[in-house]
Chain A
Amino acid sequence: ALSAGSACLIPRFREIQDEELSRFCSRVVKLLQKDPGAEAVDALRRLFLIVSATKYGRKLEKPCVDLLQATICSPACPEQLQLLCAAILREMAPSEGLNLSCDHIQKSRTLSLAASVLLAQGDRQDEVRSVGQRALHLLEARQTEGPGPRALLPVVSKVVSLAPGTLPEAQADMLHRRLVDWLRYASVQQGVAQPSRGFFSAPRTRQPGPVTEVDGAVATDFFTVLSTGQHFTEDQRLNVHAFSMLRTWLLFSGPASRDASDADDRSELEGSTLSVLSATSATASHLLPPQQQLRAGAFEYCQRLLEQSTRRALRKGDSDLQKACLVEAVLLLDVLCRQEPSFLYRALSCLKALLGRLCGDPAQARTLLPIARYLLRHGEAAAVDSEAVCQHLFTSVLADLFPNPMLAFEFAQFCRDSLHLFNPDQGTFKLSFPNLFKLLAWHSPALTSEFVVLLPALVDASTAVEMLHTLLDLPCLTAALGLQLSRSSPTASERPLWDVSLRPTSCLEGFRDPEFQGLFQYLLRSKAGGATKRLAPLHHLLQPMASCARVVQCAQAVPTLLQVFFAAVTQVASGDLSAQLALVLLERSNSLFQVPQYEAQVHRVMSSQLLALCRLRPALVVELARDLLEFVGTVSGIRSRESMFTAVVWAIGEYLAVSYDRRCTVEQVNRFFEALEALLFEVTQSRRSATLPPYPPQVVTVLMTTLTKLASRSQDLIPRVSLLLSKLRALPQGPAMGSVPRDEDTDAIRMRATELTNLLKMPSVAQFVFTPGMEASTPRFHRDANTALPLALHTVSRLVDREAGLLPA
């Protein structure tokens, strides 16, 4: 209801025609010129909506645009009008008709308004540089010590982030120096209230008193963003703005500075004596160049923030700010240490102390992430162990705090950003995948794309089989995590963790049942151990939760992740591992948590990946002959996993040959033949039955083709196959089921049977066609007129046709 009322205005405003708009522009011009009051405001609001409601450009008359520009630049106009004019021009950007220039602007507020328009033009005419120049010029001029600089700092910050490293050094130095002033030397007395314009306007001369810390104590050192009071002075406000832009400024104000993210080499301490001695403080450093003065000042500010964050804030807003300040301080220390390695020792000792304080506090978990990152990047230089904090993060923090969506996202980011910094010997990262997957299981829509990047880095030959099982059981993990949460927070009835209508009480009971303890513990483990457990009993127990929205969302992510997993694991898989993975696919194809549509999707991936494994290592089929035989053993398995069945039968046909593995024996070929022949018989029987739905024709044709292939390799079998095929060619039309005529399916089967029969008439050709060997994958095989398969097939079919024409039918 709230937004419906709003939103339906949009189509109306989009429909305003150009003519009407043109008249409206004239009206706006008149109002602005004559009577810049409430009517003008209303007109401008409408004009803003007209321009912003559509993604297509709207043409405003030139006089109107000129007047909008003029309004921004005349300081006398009320803020309301100026904001609207700037917003309209910004919404139209980039626009070619703009002739707004900042070169002669004298007032900070005006420049700020003009900048919002100019910086939106996409830097087609070097606007970014000229805005930056003008802003720094005004800052340098120190014309008004009033609110002037405060309006300009965000502009400068935006300019350097849009165009890093383009400021002239002299101007940058000027701002370095002023920033140090604002950061370190802001007043420590509270400001005075603005004199009220009331009747009693005699100002009372009352000392405002010193600023306080967030816990109410009197401030112990210089003013920072965590210093508070009833009213603030202008330089205190500047302190806030200066700190807010500090990291951006440090990163991007230097000449052609290194990009923040790519300077990721572990920093080295060059000459320990030198570093310790050269770490000077801002107050005693007037001889230092301005940039280093600023860095020193920034360092002290960070130290102060770290100290201030130990206090217990009286207000929630301040407590939240403390956490944000902690993160910012750590990020700043990281930048400073990269720019000046001399800060390392002092920074590390601060952070170690901080770490000790924060590790035990779940509310501070998000703050640990930048600290961990800092230690991974810089810790080695001072032999500080980043391992301990990583352990803590990957075990306790993940296990306890996974439901928090922001923590989950930041954790995934932390992993992505630190992939190249994790110590491969320690294995903390790789072995923590069971815990990491909890993030994915709980927040799959937001984190699937992150895990597509992380998964390849987690894949390891020693844990691959365990990981495959874990991925297949991911939706089950989601359900189990839901149970775990509901059990640990009994007030879950206020905030349901899943759709309350489902009432999975049996699942909750099962969670507490000792019989299932071991399995739940395994599912919810923190570390990979190499061992695997079959969770089929849990699939059954948790069935009522299989249609919970969160479980379904997770299930939808699994097929993609399986593809990523296999793409990564085939890079490191030995023959042994490929065989193990293939076996997992076979085994798990009928042992999946029954989430709606999950099985069908996963089967599709499994069958294509099984074929891919066989293609890479054809010898697999012979190695796993016994398991494959068992898999195709019964007809009952076909319906529930048709794609897998088809893939297995196809693989048998393709790769069960001596040319792929010398261990392939005639007995093996015969054994498979007999099993498949029996299946084909049963399957075709069902086609004739009026009660059972027939098997899809693909099942029949793949069986036929594979049998023919096997026969071409063990030619004693040819007569049996020919008999089978002739029966299939003589299939009557099956009974029509519903509105779908059976003709096409039966036709397809008959046609395939005929082709195969024809090929078998020339056994040596058949062998050549069906078992071309490894060379078939080389292009030359198909270009060389002597070996080309298509040519051979073509010749055969012509010969056979001719022969068929000669013989009686």
Chain B
Amino acid sequence: MVHAFLIYTLRAPHAEDTGFCRVLYSCVFGAEKSPDDPRPHGAERDRLLRKEQILAVARQAESMCRLQQQASGHSSVDLPPQSSDEPASLHEAPHGAFRLAAGDPFQEPRTVVWLGVLSLGFALVLDAHENLLLAEGTLRLLARFLFDHLRLLAPSANLLLRADRVEAILARFLPHGQLLFLNDQFVQGLEKELSAAWPL
């Protein structure tokens, strides 16, 4: 199952270290068990820890993406925007996976699958022995739907103030972190339902 889904910023591979990786959106599906903490403000500390865990994942995924881009000789992630087309085949987009050991930063060992599309990064934090083919496919699907339904290629695109759409997409394609085996027709059906309920 999926523990968390996140969207974060990607810097161009050869940019100087100006700015930093930001998490634009994250959704944790069912939290790890909170430690027994009798001190006051335990809940706040807990929340702080979770946010930092997510940020740590985003940073590592971003760094992996940059390193992969550099290694394959791409000088820039930002391709000229194609306003109405789908971002050039998601199968060509940089992607990969890495492992997180127990305690670093989650209690359980986890696997992260990441995908970089233009200057946005998408990642799934998975339980340790998950079906990575399915996870990878789901991540591409989510990225495609997010780009389409949030019109992320448009010049004034803004994802931060449209969390409801992101939630709607996740509710259908990754409910409570459950990866779904969806064939093409099934996906089309869900897409129609989404467009009907949430007109663009």
Contact = CB atoms under 8 A, between A and B. Distances in A.
A240 interface: yes
B180 A120 contact: no
A45 interface: yes
B158 to A, nearest CB: 5
A250 B158 CA distance: 42
Contacts of A445: 63-64, 67-68, 71
Contacts of B171: 83
Interface stretch (A156-164, A636-644, A784-792): A156-164
Nearest to A120: B31
Interface in A73-123: 79-80, 83-84, 86-87, 90, 92-96, 112, 115-116, 119-123
A406 B95 contact: yes
Interface string A113-136: 001100111111000100000000
Interface in B19-75: 22, 24-34, 43-44, 46-48, 51-52, 55, 63-64, 67-68, 70-75
B98 A157 contact: no
B160 A119 contact: no
Contact of B46 (A94, A119, A232, A499): A94
A728 B136 CA distance: 68
Nearest to A92: B47
Contacts of B34: 94, 121-124
A232 B180 CA distance: 15
Nearest to B198: A80
A244 interface: yes
A694 interface: no
Interface residues of A, number: 101
A231 to B, nearest CB: 7
Nearest to B161: A45
A327 B133 contact: yes
A157 B2 CA distance: 11
B132 to A, nearest CB: 6
Contacts of A413: 99, 111
B43 A94 contact: yes
Contact of A553 (B9, B29, B67, B118): B67
Contact of A157 (B1, B33, B128, B136): B1
Nearest to B177: A158
B83 interface: no
Given A49-B160, A413-B99, A324 B183 contact: no
B82 interface: no
Interface in A217-273: 225-232, 240-241, 243-245, 248, 260-261
Interface of A, secondary structure class, is helix
Contacts of B24: 3, 6-7, 10
Contacts of B131: 324, 327-328, 331
Contacts of B9: 3-4, 6-7
A323 B183 CA distance: 12
B133 A366 contact: yes
A55 B71 contact: no
* A6, A48, A123, A155: most-surrounded residue (chain B CB, <10 A): A6
A324 B186 contact: no
Nearest to B46: A94
B149 interface: no
A80 B164 contact: yes
B31 A94 contact: yes
Contact of B133 (A3, A240, A324): A324
Interface in B173-188: 175-187
Interface in A534-584: 548-550, 553
Given A96-B43, A157-B176, A445-B68, A320 B31 contact: no
Contacts of B71: 445, 498, 549-550, 553
Contacts of A4: 9, 119
8 contacts: A2-B120, A4-B9, A80-B168, A123-B31, A245-B178, A324-B137, A495-B72, A549-B73
